[in-house]
Structure 1
Amino acid sequence: MHAPPNSFAPRPADPAGGCNPAALCVRKGDQNRGAFVTEDAEQRNRRLDRAVTDCAEGRPQGIDAILELEGPRLLGLARRILIRHDLAEEALQDAMVMVWRKAAQQRQGDGSSRGWIYAILRNRCLTILRDGARLSSLSPDELTSMQEARQELVSDDDWKLLAGKGRLGECLDALDDPARRAILLAHVAGYSHGEISARQGVPLGTAKSWIRRGLASLRECLS
């Protein structure tokens, strides 16, 4: 296994040249003119695929490329979930170490590199959320904000981010809304069956049935 780079620091997008700081900007052409354009999603995804391949083959520039492409968004996601900037930075660094270590497995599989990276970060954030000792210094308002952020982890389009444009995305799209939402709550946001039951306002048996039926449909669709 390749040793991970010593440190990972998210790099904010450069707003020079009028590009929205929230967007990914890349320099094209004459750098002295500061010409920036926003990359389209397809090109960005190809660059992320190459970056993950670099990580799998032990080249630290892979992590640099991931942070250049998605660093501000990744840190923003972690901050929305964890509220505290220090915890968000810790979660992002831990996630990048995991990306580095597991990149070879991702390259052997099939799926969106972007979705895979975001899923690793989300899972790390959820682990920190479950660490009661880690959060003992937070105020009640901060804890409430964290819980609200956790509830918003699964948006209507969340499955598209995680699955990308491959077969998994098509199979998730084919599920009915209750089954898809229950699967995402369980396997993306980390909710227990009981929490899904309470959140969706249905009996526990119904929530379990949604998940069981949805997973069976996914297996059949993917086979």
Structure 2
Amino acid sequence: MDGRDEVSRLLARIALQDAKAFEALFTMAADRLMAVAMRVTQDAAMAEDVLQEVFTAIWNRSTAAAPGQHRTLAWLCVVTRHRAIDLLRKRKPEEPLQWRSATGEEHSHDVAAEGASPVEQLLVQESDARLSHCIGALEHDPRRALMLAFYEGLTHAEIALRMQRPLGTVKAWTRRSLMRLKDCLEALT
């Protein structure tokens, strides 16, 4: 049996969903079809996409031959070539990131980063460092009361219970600590 009849025989078995026939056809034809796709697309990834489309179409029986046409390896090469050309036509032209205008000026696209800019990140770090410095300058108990209020969200009454201090003392510590923080941060700016 020659290669021409072998491809037809395998395609007929694949039409019956014979996975072993599909594997045999892939082993027999994939390298040749990949070369055809590469010659047309000049891009390995695109050629692989073409090859995948061709073999998917073969498995799904959407590569039916025209009446009287004998399906051979040459026929599969033509199908692959046409798929590669179709893929190239669908592909949108890529715009380069850098280009020269008619006047010779260099231009480039600039894509904004999703996060904060380096300057913004630096300002946040500096701000955090100043705040840490100012909080560190507070006395221990007033600092703890302030931290419980702002980082744990406790009310004055809850802070007083947790620290076992009078409610008025906790309120005074919180108010004075906030005023000291404000003064300290303003002095560092």
Specify the TM-score bucket, using the shorter chain as the normaliser. Answer: 0.3 to 0.5
Q: Which of structures 1 and 2 has the bigger CA Rg?
A: 2
